[in-house]
Structure 1
Amino acid sequence: MIKKRISSGSTFEKLIGYSRAVVDSHYVHVSGTTGYNYAEMTISDDVVQQARQCLLNISQALTDAGSSMEKIVRVNYILPNRQDFEPCWPVLREFFGDIRPAATMIVAGLADAHMKIEIEVTATL
């Protein structure tokens, strides 16, 4: 049963037809989130900065949903270039080092050439 839909204010949500996060009875499902700073509608050219912004965006969605980063149980990383993953490890460890969710890294093209990483998570309530 869907309890709530969360929006980040991204224009992509309306154009494509999705929610940043969906809350059901037990979980918060956060969509693939990129490194856009939605307040400024900018994106860094640096993959590490994009990873940090992804996680800040995810943190905000989880807070809005009544959850938190500490309740993440699953994370998927999607990167167009596998070589960009290892430089992100320190920031990923900063956010996930104590949580240690189940994780998968996928190499795939993203919707915009400026996007260097996309992260999606599932968290408990």
Structure 2
Amino acid sequence: MKKNIATRKAPAAIGPYSQGVLAGHLIFTSGQLPLDPETGDMVGHDITLQTRQVLRNVQAVLEEAGSGMEKVLKTTVFLSDMANFAKMNEVYKEFFMEDYPARSAFQVARLPKDALVEIEVIAAV
């Protein structure tokens, strides 16, 4: 059974995809960008502000599905520049405590809307 997740507390999808999908006891979020959910505008021009907004957006999608950051099993982080990894990691630690989820991180050639970071997660419900 599959259920699409949508919340106004996270940015609306900018293409033909869902903010998240609930399947069984798992939720899969789409990659979240550093967009303000109310305006759709990019938040900040530095990795710290953008990472914080991305993770707030992830959190909003998870909460809409009845989950939360403490139930995240795996994250995938996409960075426009791996030189931003340490600063991203500092903000990341604000949202994930002990018993961290598994994680992959990649530098990519370009992200939608020229964001500096995009993060997707898989979480338990």
Q: Is 1:106 the equivalent of 2:106?
A: yes
SS of alignment partner, residue 91 of structure 1: helix
Shift of 1:85: 1.4
Aligned-residue Cα RMSD (Å) equals 1.4
Distance 2:69 2:89 in 1: 17
TM-score by length of 1: 0.90
Counterpart in 2 of 1:5?
A: 4
Distance in 2 (CA, whole Å) between partners of 1:86 and 1:102 is 17
Q: Deviations over 1:66-92 (max 9, x none)?
A: 111100000000011111111112111
Aligned residues: 121
Greater share of residues in helix: 1
Q: 2: distance between equivalents of 1:69 and 1:104?
A: 17
Structure 2 contact 6–64 (Cα < 8 Å) conserved = no
How far, CA to CA, are the matches of 1:88 and 1:106 in structure 2? 12
Identity %: 30
**What residue ranges of structure 2 are gaps of 5+ in the alignment?**
none
After TM superposition, the runs of 4+ consecutive aligned structure 1 residues lying more than 3 A away are 8-11
Between stretches 41-50 and 24-33, larger displacement belongs to 41-50
Residues 7 and 64, structure 2, Cα contact 8 Å, conserved in 1: no
Q: 1:87 to 1:36 in 2, by over 3 A?
A: same
Query: Does residue 36 in structure 1 map to residue 38 in structure 2?
Result: no
